[in-house]
Amino acid sequence: MRPLRRWWWRLRWWRLSGRLAGISVVVLDVDGVLTDGGLWYGPQGELTKRFDVRDGLGIRLLQQAGLEVVFLSGGRGGATEVRAQQLGIQHCFVGAKDKLVALADLQQRLGVADAQIAFVGDDVNDLAVQGMVGLLLATADAAAPLRRRADAVLLRPGGSGAVRELAERLLQVRGQWAELCRTGWRDRND
């Protein structure tokens, strides 16, 4: 990364540290955020997706720190639900054609305010949620209109560590990352 871009990236995240500290719910688009956006079909038409294992650990770290992680996808196919189950995701919205309606439902279920929600997206359909979340974040390879309007752009692309990068940033703001780096991590979720 060029020095000027690195400086700008650090300044932007530093300015967001107060808002990051108030986040209690992380909503993740699936295709293009948890995956690279590609869809693979088997011979019988079954859909498969590739998920990054480091993103999975990042999700587990967030859950252990007390944050709620939510999957919100317009797509269907079964792979998202399987991954959500593996990670203990309690709220997995698939086939959500209107993300605003799904977010309003989520807010009501969890009793959280807009400012407590961070949303990670990758394309123009994710811009619609901007007024309903405290932070709108984009993957490094997100569509240009989303990158321009997002509160911050992650350095990693979707399906390749973007969620893990956000998890580390959230844990740093909470003062928990240094301890994890010192002592390591054990799966202590019940």
| Domain assignments of the chain as residue spans, ordered by start | 3-182
Separation of alpha carbons 152 and 82, rounded Å:
29
d(CA 66, CA 6): 30
Tell whether the model's pLDDT for residue 190 goes beyond 50.
no
Task: Calculate Rg over the CA atoms of the chain.
Answer: 16
What pLDDT does 2 receive? 57
**For range 104-128, the mean pLDDT:** 96
Q: Are 118 and 25 contacting, i.e. CB atoms less than 8 angstroms apart?
A: yes
Residue type, 186: R
Overall average pLDDT of the 112-125 stretch: 97
* Class of 3-182 in CATH: alpha beta
Q: How many CA atoms lie within 13 A of 88 on its CB side?
A: 15
Give the model confidence (pLDDT) of 42-85 as tens digits.
898 888 889 999 999 999 999 999 999 999 998 877 889 999 99
Please tell me the pTM assigned to this model. 0.91
Alpha carbon distance 64, 109 (integer Å) = 20
